[in-house]
């Protein structure tokens, strides 16, 4: 109380009056709620109490009425005459009936005039015949009351054949006692309890049949148990062996359907398919053991027993000597009342109405084939539905291997061929006939879904990359990787920790993984981070798909050929089909990616073609990204090659074959397999798409640069001519007069091209260098030069047409301007003209155009001066070309401009670079690389107007002479060790690869 008072005081101290009233209202509401709950609980319990009291009162009244009835029976029984001893047999029978009906302990036996005790055997002869028949009837009644209990015990123990025999014995007893007669039976009148026994016996037959047919569905029971269940069905239904075969196969068909309709989860599908295969094989084995009979004249095979159903039927329905056999068990025969049973009951044996003839082999074969065909449709549909839940090829391989192990096990495969030959007269393979096609269909679906997912994700990745490159992303500024795409030179000359592998100093290239790519090699190939990211994402998805599918294939090609001695089927027989599916869907995926790239390129081409001014750099960056992407997919996605070539064409094997081919002889034609041709076709499509993208870029670049060049060239004012003019060289010449005297005079000739010509070439080199010119395909660079030369020539022809019109307000074409224009045109024709064999047609067309413009410009020069100027003009032009060959090397390095050095070179000459420089060279000249000299081929650059002097400069062929050849030397494999080079030295060459 003191505590509660303290709490109340604290409550009054802590709260205001209004808060206290609110607390009071909450407390009162809680009190009322508790009271209501108490009322409801008391009301519910009161009703339960009343119901319990009523039940107890009814039970007391029922017990009193039952006791009164028992006392009445006892009084009436005592009033009738009868033997003094009570009969235990009848009491036991009633006890058995009570146990059958109520299931409890039998009640105390009571007296009855029809239940005499059975006398001893030596007093049996003194009994009159009427009393003996009375004992016989009593014994039969006792047995009839015991039969249901024994039947239920046999059913619960799974002994269906003894249960059926006991049930038939009960039917025989009812017929003996005339309990099934239509007229009123005196025994039923005396023993009303038998009515219940007769009614209960009608349910025994259906229960035994139901349990027996249920046992037929199980695949784990023994052959003997199945034979007994079939015999029980035949005895109860009075059917033939053919009907038993139909019941057996129908039960197994229902078992198959039940097995297929079970709830399934991912791991349980393997168990379901294996159980299905085990059920099918067990069914055939048991059909052979039960229904097959050996042909006449053939000895039985102890390893393959057969005809079990017929032997069981014979032992069940056969006749035995008196006193032995029959349906009754030994414990019944030991009972005191057994001796009073008539002989027809003691020796009772069930029998079939018709003889059980053996099933013919033709009928058995046709029935089993029809059953297999019927079940095949259900199995295909069910297994197809099950395989939908298998989401990986590894899961399919696990199910297939489990089925193979099951069918290859000794218990199944030992006599399988003999059983199939006897039953079906042909071999049977459930894997090949039922499952293999289903597994291939599911595998194809998984492969298609996987590569469709790769295609869609690659398309999304491509769209995101192009969005980021075009500046459409939500980020505030371009990332570092995007900047590298805008200018590849920044990427090439940037340093990062991944430039060299961590083990580059002690692991050689031969021992390095083919999938390990150093940052330096990526820069040498101008493969930007965006391209690397895309290819890495694609390659990782291809690797995951390839690893998943390889689990379905043998570890090596030899494993597929080696089969187990008793292998049920060749589980790797469809390896070629699986690899073909992988190849086809992989190629379709690449085609889908190429289709997306093609759509983007077409869109970019239409946008770039519609622009009048300089093309958008963002759009060109996107085009170049797609060009590099298509060019590098085969290099950066090694698993793409494995998907196309399969296990037989690994990258290492192909590389070794290529090296050996190069070393043994380059003139021999190598055989190309269909798989290699497929891979070459994929590479060709990717390269073709890359060249198309580069062509879009080169056209846009040429258009933008030549537009500026043309605009400056066609400016027809004195100021514009002076603004673009360069310094001329003053040359002293000796001329001979008519009198024979020598006169010295000075002439001025151009030694440099006009500023807009230099700007055109320099900007062109800048654009090529910005995109990684050392990795541009030679075809693209040649196309760029051809297009640029054609546009330049068109500009000169436009100028020529304007000057031929001779308008009054136009600036006249002076001799000095004509000399400068002629010098510019010849210089451009030398730099931009492609000297390859395939470019002969376009070069002839250009040469005719150049001659036309050249004739026009020479027409504005005095013929006498032209004869004097031409040798010096050619000399200046040669010197200019060689001086600018390094500056414009990205353009001039497409082919050899000069012939290779010959052996006539003086031994005292130590340098071979820029020997025509007129000024003193401050630094020592650099010698050419030995590897460059080794690869050089002779080619002479010449035009009709310009004669190049004897070769004084050694130029390397193609790739080696272009800027960026250093990078290619770093990543090129050692092809020939004959010529030493700086880049062939030990660990340095290994680190730079």
Q: What is the pLDDT of residues 205-243, one digit of tens each?
A: 888 889 998 998 888 888 899 998 999 898 888 888 899
Q: How far apart are CA 135 and CA 340, in angstroms?
A: 6
* Average pLDDT estimate for 468-476: 65
Tokens representing 268 are: 């349980």
Lowest mean pLDDT among 340-344, 713-717, 785-789: 340-344
Region 623-640: what's the mean pLDDT? 88
Average confidence (pLDDT) over 355-360: 82
Residue bearing the bigger pLDDT, 121 or 507: 507
How many C-beta atoms surround the C-beta of residue 408 within 10 A?
A: 18
pLDDT at 611: 61
| Nearest-angstrom CA–CA distance, 94 and 109 | 8
Backbone angles phi, psi at 526, to 5 degrees: 55, 40
CA distance 248 to 245: 5
3-state SS assignment for residue 901: coil
CA separation for the pair 899, 907 (Å, rounded): 19
Separation CA 577–CA 574 (nearest Å) = 5
**pTM of the predicted structure, to 2 decimals:** 0.67
- The pLDDT value given to residue 964: 43
In this predicted structure, what is the pLDDT of residue 881? 87
What pLDDT is stored for residue 62 in this prediction?
Answer: 93
pLDDT at 66 over 80: yes
Q: Which residue has the tokens 């793409």?
A: 640
Write down the pLDDT at residue 551. Answer: 87
Is there a contact between 167 and 208 (Cβ–Cβ < 8 Å)? yes
Contact call for residues 341 and 89 (beta carbons, < 8 A): no
How deeply is 298 buried, as exposed, middle or buried, from its count of CB atoms within 10 A (0-12, 13-18, 19+)?
exposed
Kindly report, residue by residue over 368-421, the tens digit of the pLDDT.
Answer: 999 999 999 899 998 998 888 888 888 899 999 999 988 888 888 888 888 888
In this predicted model, which residue has the larger pLDDT, 361 or 100? 361
* pLDDT tens, position by position, 147-199: 888 888 888 888 888 888 888 888 888 777 776 655 556 776 677 677 777 77
Q: Burial-class residue 988 by CB neighbours within 10 Å (0-12, 13-18, 19+).
A: middle
Helices in 551-615 by DSSP H: which ranges?
557-561, 575-610
Give pLDDT tens digits for 903-921.
444 444 444 444 444 444 4
Sign of CA dihedral 528, 533, 536, 542: negative
CB under 8 A, 24+ apart: contacts of 356-361:
356/234, 356/240, 356/241, 356/310, 356/313, 357/240, 357/241, 358/241, 358/293, 358/307, 358/310, 359/241, 359/242, 359/245, 359/291, 359/293, 361/292, 361/295, 361/422
Q: Where is pLDDT greater, at 414 or 279?
A: 279
- The more confident residue out of 303 and 747 is 747
Q: What is the pLDDT of residue 264?
A: 61
Mean pLDDT of 524-542: 87
Arithmetic mean of pLDDT over the chain: 76
According to the model, what pLDDT value does residue 46 have? 82
Average pLDDT over residues 78-100: 43
pLDDT of residue 588: 92
Q: What is the pLDDT of residues 579-604, one digit of tens each?
A: 888 889 999 999 999 999 999 888 88
Higher-confidence residue of 331 and 781: namely: 781
pLDDT of residue 510: 67
Model confidence pLDDT, tens digit, residues 568-579: 788 888 888 888
pLDDT at 78 over 50: yes
**Alpha-carbon gap, residue 600 to 622, rounded angstroms:** 9
Is 70 exceeded by the pLDDT of residue 311? yes
Report in angstroms the alpha-carbon separations of 195 from 14, 184, 188, 649: 85, 12, 7, 85
**pLDDT number for residue 61:** 93
Q: Do 275 and 406 meet the contact criterion of CB atoms below 8 Å apart?
A: no
Residue 89, pLDDT score = 38
Alpha-carbon gap, residue 889 to 880, rounded angstroms:
13
The 10s digit of each residue's pLDDT in 867-897 is: 888 888 899 889 888 888 877 877 775 554 4
């Amino acid at each position: 109380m003191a505590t509660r008072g303290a709490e109340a005081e604290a409550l009054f101290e802590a709260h205001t009056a209004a808060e206290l009233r609110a607390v009071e209202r909450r407390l009162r509401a809680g009190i009322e709620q508790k009271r209501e709950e108490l009322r409801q609980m008391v009301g519910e319990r009161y009703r339960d109490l009343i119901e319990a009291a009523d039940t107890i009162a009814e039970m007391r009244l029922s017990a009193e009425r039952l006791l009164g009835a028992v006392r009445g029976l006892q009084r009436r029984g005592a009033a009738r005459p009868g033997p003094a001893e009570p009969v235990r047999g009848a009491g036991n029978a009633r006890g058995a009936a009570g146990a059958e009906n109520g299931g409890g302990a039998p009640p105390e036996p009571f007296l009855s005039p029809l239940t005499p005790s059975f006398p001893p055997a030596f007093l049996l002869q003194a009994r009159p015949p009427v009393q003996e028949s009375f004992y016989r009837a009593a014994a039969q009644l006792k047995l009839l009351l015991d039969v249901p209990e024994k039947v239920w015990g046999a059913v619960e123990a799974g002994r269906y054949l003894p249960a059926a025999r006991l049930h038939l014995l009960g039917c025989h007893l009812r017929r003996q006692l005339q309990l099934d007669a239509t007229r009123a039976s005196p025994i039923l009148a005396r023993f009303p309890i038998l009515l219940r026994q007769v009614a209960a016996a009608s349910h025994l037959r259906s229960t035994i049949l139901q349990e027996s047919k249920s046992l037929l569905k199980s695949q784990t029971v023994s052959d003997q148990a199945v034979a007994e269940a079939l015999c029980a069905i035949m005895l109860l239904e009075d059917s033939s062996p053919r009907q038993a075969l139909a019941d057996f196969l129908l039960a197994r068909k229902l078992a198959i359907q039940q097995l297929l309709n079970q709830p399934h989860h991912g791991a349980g599908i393997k168990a379901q398919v294996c159980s299905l295969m085990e059920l099918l094989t067990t069914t055939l084995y048991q059909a052979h053991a039960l229904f097959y009979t050996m042909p006449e004249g053939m000895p039985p095979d102890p390893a393959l027993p057969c005809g079990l159903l017929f032997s069981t039927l014979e032992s069940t329905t056969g006749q035995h000597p008196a006193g032995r056999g029959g349906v009754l068990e030994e414990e019944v025969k030991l009972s005191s009342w057994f001796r009073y049973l008539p002989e027809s009951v003691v020796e009772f044996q069930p029998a079939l109405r018709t003889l059980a003839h053996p099933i013919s082999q033709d009928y058995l074969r046709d029935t089993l084939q029809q059953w297999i065909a019927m079940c095949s449709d259900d199995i295909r549909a069910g297994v197809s539905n099950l395989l939908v839940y298998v989401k990986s090829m590894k899961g399919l391989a696990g199910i297939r291997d489990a089925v193979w192990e099951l069918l290859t096990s000794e218990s199944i495969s030992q006599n399988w061929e003999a059983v199939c030959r006897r039953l079906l007269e042909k071999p049977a393979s459930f894997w090949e006939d039922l499952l293999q096609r289903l597994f291939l269909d599911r595998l194809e679906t998984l492969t298609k879904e996987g590569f469709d997912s790769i295609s869609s994700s690659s398309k999304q990745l491509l769209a995101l990359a192009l969005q980021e490159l075009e500046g459409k992303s939500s980020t505030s500024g371009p990332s570092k990787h995007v900047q590298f795409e805008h200018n590849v030179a920044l990427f090439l000359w940037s340093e990062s920790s991944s430039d060299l592998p961590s083990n580059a100093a002690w692991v050689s290239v031969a021992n390095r993984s083919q999938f390990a790519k150093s940052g330096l090699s990526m820069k040498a190939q101008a493969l930007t981070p965006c391209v690397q990211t895309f290819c890495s994402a694609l390659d990782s998805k291809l690797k995951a798909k390839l690893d998943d599918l390889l689990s379905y294939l043998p570890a090596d090609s030899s494993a597929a050929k080696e089969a187990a001695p008793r292998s049920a089927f060749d589980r790797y027989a469809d390896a070629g089909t699986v690899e073909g599916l992988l190849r086809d869907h992989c190629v379709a995926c690449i085609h889908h990616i190429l289709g997306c790239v093609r759509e983007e390129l077409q869109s970019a081409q239409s946008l770039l073609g519609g622009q009048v001014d300089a093309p958008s750099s963002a759009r060109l960056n996107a085009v170049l990204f797609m060009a590099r992407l298509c060019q590098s997919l085969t290099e950066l996605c090694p698993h793409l090659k494995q998907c196309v070539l399969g296990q037989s064409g690994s990258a290492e094997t192909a590389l070794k074959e290529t090296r050996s081919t190069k070393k043994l002889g380059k003139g021999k034609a190598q055989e190309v397999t269909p798989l290699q041709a497929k891979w070459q076709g994929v590479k060709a499509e990717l390269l073709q798409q890359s060249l198309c993208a580069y062509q879009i870029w080169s056209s846009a670049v040429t258009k933008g640069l030549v537009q500026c060049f043309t605009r400056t060239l066609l400016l027809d004012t004195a100021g514009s001519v002076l603004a673009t003019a360069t310094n001329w060289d003053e040359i002293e010449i000796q001329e001979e007069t008519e009198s024979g005297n020598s006169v010295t005079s000075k002439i001025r000739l151009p030694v440099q091209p006009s500023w807009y010509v230099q700007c055109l070439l320099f900007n062109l080199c800048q654009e090529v260098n910005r995109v990684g010119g050392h990795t541009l395909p030679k075809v693209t660079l040649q196309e760029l030069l051809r297009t640029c030369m054609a546009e330049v020539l068109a500009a000169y022809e436009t100028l020529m047409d304007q000057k031929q019109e001779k308008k009054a307000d136009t600036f006249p074409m002076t001799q000095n301007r004509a000399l400068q224009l002629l010098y510019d045109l010849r210089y451009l024709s030398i730099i931009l003209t492609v000297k390859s064999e395939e470019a002969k047609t376009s070069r002839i067309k250009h040469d005719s155009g150049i001659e036309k413009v050249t004739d026009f410009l020479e027409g504005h020069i005095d013929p006498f001066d032209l004869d004097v100027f031409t040798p010096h003009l050619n000399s200046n032009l040669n010197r200019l070309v060689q001086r600018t060959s390094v500056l414009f090397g990205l353009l001039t390095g497409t082919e050899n401009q000069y012939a290779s050095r010959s052996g006539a070179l003086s031994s005292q000459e130590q340098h071979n670079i820029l020997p025509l420089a007129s000024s003193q060279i401050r630094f020592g000249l650099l010698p050419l690389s030995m590897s460059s000299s080794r690869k050089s081929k002779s080619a002479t650059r010449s035009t009709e107007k310009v004669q190049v002097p004897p070769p004084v400069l050694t130029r390397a062929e193609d790739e080696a002479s272009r800027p960026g050849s250093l990078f290619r030397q770093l990543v090129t494999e050692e092809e020939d060790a004959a010529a030493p080079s700086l880049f062939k030295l030990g660990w340095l060459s290994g680190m730079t690869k």
